[in-house]
Amino acid sequence: AQTVTQSQPEMSVQEAETVTLSCTYDTSESDYYLFWYKQPPSRQMILVIRQEAYKQQNATENRFSVNFQKAAKSFSLKISDSQLGDAAMYFCAYRSTSGTYKYIFGTGTRLKVLA
C-alpha cells in the first residue's frame, strides 16, 4: 500500500525568505500524481501545485515550486519570497493513475511566517 510521510510537523520562515517542506512517499507504481494542498486558518483546502510522475520537469506555480526526485520518492515544496498569507497547514498527497479512487495524504506541516 502507498504511504505519504511528512516528517516536519512544524516549520517557520521569515517573511520574504525561502522555505522547503519535505514529503516522501512509498509506492511500487511507476505512474502517479502528487499534490501539495494548503489549508489556511479558514480550513478551506486549496490546491497549491501538482506533479505528474511521468514528467521529469519540476512543476512551478508562481512562488511555489517542487523538487520531484522520482528515484528517491521525494516531493518537496519550495516557497520563495514567503508572505504572511502563506501561513497554513500544508499537506502532501498521492494519487494512483490506476483504478483506485483513493488519495493518500500526509499528516501535514504547519508553516509559520514571521514578520
The residue behind cell 520574504 is 16
Single out the residue of 66, 79, 93, 111 in contact with another protein (rule: CB under 8 A): 93
Single out the residue of 45, 64, 67, 74 in contact with another protein (rule: CB under 8 A): 45
Q: Which amino acid makes up residue 14?
A: Q
Rounded to a whole number of angstroms, the minimum distance from the CB of residue 7 to another protein is: 13
Asked whether position 1 contacts another protein by CB under 8 A, the answer is no
The residue behind cell 490506476 is 98
The residue behind cell 514578520 is 115
- For the chain, how far is it from start to end, CA to CA, in angstroms? 41
Single out the residue of 44, 56, 57, 62 in contact with another protein (rule: CB under 8 A): 44
Asked whether position 64 contacts another protein by CB under 8 A, the answer is no
Q: Of the ranges 12-20, 22-30, 37-45, 66-74, which one interacts with another protein (CB under 8 A)?
A: 37-45
Render 50-95 in DSSP notation, one character per residue. EEETT--SPPEETTEEEEEETTTTEEEEEE-S--GGG-EEEEEEEE
**Sites of contact with another protein (CB under 8 A):** 33, 35, 37, 42-47, 50, 52, 91, 93, 95-103, 105-108, 110
